[in-house]
């Protein structure tokens, strides 16, 4: 990648003005640091195993509270059970959980039928997501999985961004998993997918080089 990799911490207004990415100094890994990087600039609370905030409408302009029920936790446990055996299997299970999560949050956010790669033409449409929304929502899902003890081969890192005035790439943000042992980082990008589809998971280095 040409340019500098940065962690994210931004306010909703700035996120919208700059097309979804404002860069800030990197933070250390760890659940508190991840939560601070992902949510503090948006004045959001970190997710818990009983509730989380869903961002939608671009730059987290609109917010909906999702209560995590026993049925939700059971569904995630069933989905993640397919990930036993290897890190690759677990990433496939995370993708399946992401598709389930997209359908689940639509029940409270009214985002059923949202499009992939929603651009400025959809700005302020509360039924759509920009990459600030999806990177935060997906990070919330990943932290929920981690808190439930459903991640064996990965830990959750803060969202990352690509694109700025120096490399002329469109700004974009993604949620991130770190593979234990190897330390390989993986992007978990739901913005490129339409309603009910699994997020796109790839090595973060490859995601950084994409357009």
Cα–Cα dist 138/211, whole Å: 21
Q: Assess whether pLDDT exceeds 50 at residue 18.
A: no
Q: Assess whether pLDDT exceeds 60 at residue 146.
A: yes
Digit-coded pLDDT (tens) for 24-81: 333 335 788 999 999 999 999 999 999 999 999 999 999 999 999 999 999 999 999 9
- pTM for this predicted structure: 0.86
163 band by pLDDT with thresholds 50, 70 and 90? confident
pLDDT score for 170:
79
Q: Are 72 and 104 in contact (CB under 8 A)?
A: yes
């Amino acid at each position: 990648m040409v340019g500098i990799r940065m962690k994210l911490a931004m306010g909703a207004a700035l996120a919208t003005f700059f097309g979804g990415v404002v860069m800030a100094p990197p933070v250390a890994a760890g659940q508190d640091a991840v939560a601070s990087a992902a949510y503090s600039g948006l004045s959001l609370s970190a997710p818990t195993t009983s509730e989380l905030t869903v961002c939608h409408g671009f730059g987290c302009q609109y917010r909906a509270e999702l209560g995590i029920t026993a049925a939700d936790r059971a569904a995630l446990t069933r989905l993640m059970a397919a990930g036993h055996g290897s890190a690759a299997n677990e990433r496939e299970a995370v993708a399946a959980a992401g598709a389930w999560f997209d359908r689940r949050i639509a029940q409270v956010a009214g985002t059923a039928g949202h499009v992939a790669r929603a651009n400025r033409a959809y700005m302020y449409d509360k039924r759509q997501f920009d990459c600030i929304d999806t990177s935060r929502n997906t990070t919330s899902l990943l932290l929920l999985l981690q808190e439930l003890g459903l991640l064996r081969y990965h830990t959750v890192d803060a969202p990352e961004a690509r694109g700025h005035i120096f490399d002329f790439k469109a700004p974009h943000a993604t949620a991130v998993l770190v593979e234990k042992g190897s330390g390989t980082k993986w992007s978990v990008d739901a913005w490129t997918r339409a309603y009910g589809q699994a997020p796109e998971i790839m090595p973060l280095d490859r995601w950084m080089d994409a357009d």
